Amino acid sequence: VAAPTRLEDLSIRQPRIKAPRRLEPLASTSTHDRAFHSYGSSYRDVVRGFRGEFDCPPDVVFYPTSEEEIEAILDWCQSARIAAIPYGGGTSVVGGVEAPRDNDWAGVVSIDMSGFGRVLEVDRDSVAARMQAGITGPALEADLRSYGLTLRHYPQSFEYSTVGGWLATRAGGHFATLHTHIDDFVESIRAITPTGVWQSRRLPASGAGPSPDRLLIGSEGILGVITEAWLRVQPVPAYRASASVAFDSFEDGWHAVREVAQSYLWPSNLRLLDAREAALTAGQNGHVALLLLGFESCDQSVEPQIKRAVEVCAGHGGRLLSGIRSQERDGGSEANENAQAFRSAFFQAPYIRDTLVAAGILTETFETVITWDRFEEFHAQISHRAAQAVAQTCGDGCVMCRLTHVYPDGAAPYYTVLCPARRGSELSQWDTVKQAVSEAIVESGGTITHHHAVGRDHRRWYDRQRPDPFARSLQAAKQALDPSGVLNPGVLIDHVSSTQPPQR
């Protein structure tokens, strides 16, 4: 087991720029803060941090607490050719918070949004809340609980990730069906762009042209710094039910899951684990695929829905393990032990990852989505290419899969790769496996990401899957909002310097 580099042993380059006097009180150039904001939380990031490789840290980290301060930071960045990277919780797994390495910039600053950490207003009539972008999952849920409300958006990175990060990356959360992405909760967004304030009108829906919110959702910090949003929230569910269903094969399981999705029962949990993943994360014997099924409502018993879903599964050979657990109002626990085991493994996995790196185990996840008509062939192809890449690159290892989100018209498979790393070659091994599987996903018609975003790591595949006219529109939006191109250059689109005309 290797030990990580200690902070006191780190030597990182001197800052190349100095914050102007008026911004000094918000600025830090400490080694800890600059190293901390150098990377997100991908395997590659953990390995580099572990080895003490911080060759491109931000020069200054800012901690603003007001929009005026963000405006002042962006003004300085524009006037001094400094790249500015919005930073939420730093849980990006796609290189989204990393500094650009080109020489176009006099320096790079990280804008840490932790000073924007409050719920500002709750509208009980409309069941919506106005919140600041830097609030993390636990702080948000704690604030909303005091009103008897919840957002119920739980990405696996819930503990550290922020509302601004969720919006900027179109994060996927708790609900396996229906409200799968943060997009589904948005009423309006406010952002500071280098050319002014962007505030959309707060509405439950609108048919007035393309949606301004849709341009900011998924913008990954290249168009503006999101400062707050109105999001739809909901009463804490009072009725819940869960069940686990075992299948002899993953294939039987996905046929059942498809039928449940197409029955429009809208379970909140519909996560199908293949036999390997069920063994590793939910205590199964390695021979059965496991479906974790859950329903919830703030208004009525969900037993009829879960019984119907279990019946659908039985039609595909699904066997109910240890009955249906129900919770009504405040009595009892709704989660069965398989669901509890999975939930606990799900939320602890991020912490185990650091130990895996210390122990020399390479790990990576690939998530995508595909329509049902292509699912079988797609899944076979990705599993094969991933297993092949793992065997060729690492000599040994395993690939497992779960369906994280399910739609009536398709499913989101999530592949986890675990294999022995060679000390010193971890990053090239990771790169080879990453390339092979990402290539297979895009070649086979899937998307390079269902919810992890594009960042820097997925750029080459994202560029291939998006239509060219759309890429030009995004470039034009960038030019209009950020003419000097200072915001997160290189993420989503290429940086076009202000002397270059937009591409035609």
Ligand X SMILES: Cc1cc2nc3c(=O)[nH]c(=O)nc-3n(C[C@H](O)[C@H](O)[C@H](O)COP(=O)(O)OP(=O)(O)OC[C@H]3O[C@@H](n4cnc5c(N)ncnc54)[C@H](O)[C@@H]3O)c2cc1C
Give me the residues that bind ligand X (CB under 6 A), please.
Answer: 40-41, 85-93, 96-97, 113, 133, 155-157, 161-162, 164-166, 168-169, 171-172, 220-221, 225-226, 350, 451-453, 488, 491
Tell me the closest approach of the beta carbon of residue 43 to ligand X, in angstroms: 9
Q: Please, what is the minimum distance in Å from the beta carbon of residue 310 to ligand X?
A: 26
The DSSP output letter for 149 is E
Q: Which is nearer to ligand X, 267 or 318 (CB)?
A: 267
Whole-angstrom distance, CA of residue 198 vs CA of residue 188: 10
Nearest to 93 by CA among 187, 157, 158: 157
Q: In 10 A of CB 13, how many CB atoms?
A: 11
Kindly tell me which of 97 and 246 has the beta carbon lying closer to ligand X.
97
Give the residue with the Cβ less far from ligand X, 324 or 486.
486
Cβ-count burial of 323 within 10 angstroms (0-12 exposed, 13-18 middle, 19+ buried)?
exposed
Smallest separation (angstroms) from ligand X to the CB of 12: 20
> 133 or 261: whose CB is closer to ligand X?
133
Which two structure tokens, joined as six digits, stand for 166?
A: 């969720």
Residue nearest to ligand X (CB): 165
Cβ 36 to ligand X, closest distance in Å? Answer: 11
Give 82 or 453: the residue with its C-beta nearer to ligand X: 453
Amino acid at 98: E
Choose between 169 and 284: whose C-beta lies nearer to ligand X.
169
Shortest distance in whole angstroms from residue 94 CB to ligand X: 7
How many other C-beta atoms are found inside a 10 Å radius of the C-beta of residue 115?
Answer: 17
| Structural tokens at position 174 | 């708790």
Q: To the nearest 10°, report the CA torsion of 340, 351, 225, 187.
A: 0
CB of 125 to ligand X, least distance (A): 27
36 vs 464: CA distance, rounded Å: 32
Distance (Å, whole) CA 99 – CA 120: 31
- Read off φ and ψ for residue 282, nearest 5 degrees: -135, 25
Residue 109 CB, nearest approach to ligand X (Å) = 12
Residue 91 or 188: the one with the smaller Cβ distance to ligand X is: 91
Q: CA torsion sign, 155 to 157 to 163 to 164? A: negative
Nearer to ligand X by Cβ, of 271 and 451: the residue is 451
170: Cα separation from own chain's centroid = 7
How far apart are CB 165 and ligand X at their closest, in Å? 2
Q: Which residues pair with 136 in a beta bridge?
A: 162
